Structure 1
Amino acid sequence: MVSLELLFDDLTEARIWDEWRVLQELGVSSMGAHTSASNRPHLSLLVRSGVAPVDAAGLNAGAGAGAAAESEPDAVTVHPPLVSAQVRRASGRLPLAVTLGAPLLFRHGGRAVLARSVLPTSGLLDLHAEVHALSETVSAASDLPHTTPGNWTPHVTLARRLKLADLERALSALELEPIEAQATELRLWDARIGTSHQLA
């Protein structure tokens, strides 16, 4: 599974980390429990499965000065259409103002993903559509349906496996005032090998 994600300005990232910590202190599911350096608040634009990884030498050679890897460069494998110059050009829309709003719940059994909604402005929807258009290949058929244009619910995850029994406590503890944020960076995350690479 690989994904293209937006990262946020420092203040917004710190506020989301504070919300993760609140959930951790409650003893409930929280994204803050993941200690990897690559674990950062983000907004997924595209999630694709079933793609063939390739060597990353070309990626690092083509990256701009601001596209330093967050992990060892020789450990990164990528899917070429997701790191093409065209996809990088989509980052010319950044920074992009976004608003993080009310909580969202995606239920699965007795648990749920708890997230912050993100207001789907025309600017954000245009960026999302452009990233998908520039990433289109045969393997685009393996994009997770809920991330494709027309089916996308933009959000920032706070907890992945929150027990429904803990939901009331979690929402009572969180102060989910709107956050006026800036999406400032585009990165590729490769969940297969646990590496990320800043594209812009």
Structure 2
Amino acid sequence: MPRMHALELLPDEAGCDVVRRDWQVLRDAGLPSQLDHRGATNSPHVTVLAAPALGRDDEQRAADLVAPHLPAEVRASGIALLGGTRVSVVRVLDVPDPLVRAVLDLRSRVRDVQHLGWLPHLTLARRMDRADVGRAVEALGHEDVVLTLTSLRRWDPDAGIVTHL
């Protein structure tokens, strides 16, 4: 399976702190956490799209369509599970409609986008056993969190380069 190139929205510093606190809460509870991801580019982000390849035209479209809607205040309004036997634990985001429309417009113009539609979320942990989900939800709590998405980046896994658009 090819490594996926991605376009991602990044929260401001305060939003990153909120997400990293969640990561730390999970680690402190002895659960999987995104803190366990050792990659140099691991940071809180919202994936706009992932595809086997992205070109300069795709980057320009993202800058033209999505970037004008930033900064955008979003609300992390719930916890969800993605996956099968082992799951990703995520905070689902309420995103302003104009940004949602821009992302869907962009996704419709990029070839071979992974996954249908768009489920805006922040990943807190990957590959968690379903048996541990209750502990994770208890540790994370049920408070809604508001954060601000401020920038857009492109991840090129082949070159190992992050480009801010």
Would the TM-score normalized by the shorter structure come out above 0.5? yes
Larger radius of gyration: 1
Q: One-letter code of the match for 1:103?
A: I
What 5-or-longer segments of structure 1 have no aligned partner? 52-77
Residue of structure 1 in register with 2:59 after alignment: 83
Matched residue SS, 1:46: strand
What 5-or-longer segments of structure 2 have no aligned partner? none
Residue of structure 1 in register with 2:17 after alignment: 14
Matched, 1:180 2:146: yes
Give me the whole-angstrom Cα distance separating, in 1, the residues matched to 2:161 and 2:138: 34
Report deviation, 1:198.
0.8
Matched residue SS, 1:41: coil
Indicate if the aligned counterparts of 1:5 and 1:186 stay in contact, CA closer than 8 A: yes
How many residues were matched structurally? Answer: 161
- Aligned 1:1-200 pairs, distance under 5 A: 1-49=4-52, 51=53, 79-84=55-60, 86-90=61-65, 91-109=67-85, 111-133=86-108, 136=109, 140=111, 142-146=112-116, 151-199=117-165
TM-score, L = length of structure 2:
0.88
TM-score, L = length of structure 1:
0.74
Q: One-letter code of the match for 1:195?
A: I
Tell me: CA distance 1:129–1:43, structure 2 relative to 1, closer, same or farther (3 Å). same
The CA RMSD measured in Å over matched residues stands at 1.8
Matched residue SS, 1:145: coil
Give me the whole-angstrom Cα distance separating, in 1, the residues matched to 2:143 and 2:13: 17
Give me the whole-angstrom Cα distance separating, in 2, the residues matched to 1:193 and 1:114: 28
> What stretches of structure 1 move > 6 A for 4+ residues in a row?
none
Q: One-letter code of the match for 1:179?
A: V
% identity of equivalent residues: 29
Q: One-letter code of the match for 1:98?
A: V
Tell me: CA distance 1:30–1:193, structure 2 relative to 1, closer, same or farther (3 Å). farther
Give me the whole-angstrom Cα distance separating, in 1, the residues matched to 2:22 and 2:132: 15
Tell me: CA distance 1:98–1:167, structure 2 relative to 1, closer, same or farther (3 Å). same
